[in-house]
Amino acid sequence: SAALGQSYSLTCEFSSGSVSAYQWRKGDTVLSETGQTLSFSSLRLTDAGQYICQVTVDGMMLSSPPQDISLTS
């Protein structure tokens, strides 16, 4: 878990193949971040939830295991 207002980041790591694209999702929402790391400068209540990184590896779309952000006050 993380504290409100703290900086935080999630990293997308795949051990096989050459990743050509990253895409982050929170639930069904596609986020604008397209890098290997999803960074938050100051966590807000609305940032809590489950995040998935989808990557394109050798032409195939793969999804990471979900990463959760749970917040403490």
Q: pLDDT value at position 48?
A: 96
Q: pLDDT value at position 17?
A: 74
Among candidate residues 35, 48, 62, the one with its CA nearest the CA of residue 6: 48
Q: pLDDT value at position 20?
A: 85
Helix (H, G, I), strand (E, B) or coil at 18: coil
Q: What does each of the 73 residues of the chain score in pLDDT, given as a tens digit?
A: 799 999 999 999 887 778 889 999 999 999 999 999 999 999 999 999 999 999 998 888 999 999 999 998 7
Q: pLDDT value at position 10?
A: 96
CA 46 to chain centre: 14
For the entire predicted model, the pTM comes to: 0.87
- Residue 19 tokens read as 């990743």
Among candidate residues 23, 29, 32, the one with its CA nearest the CA of residue 50: 29
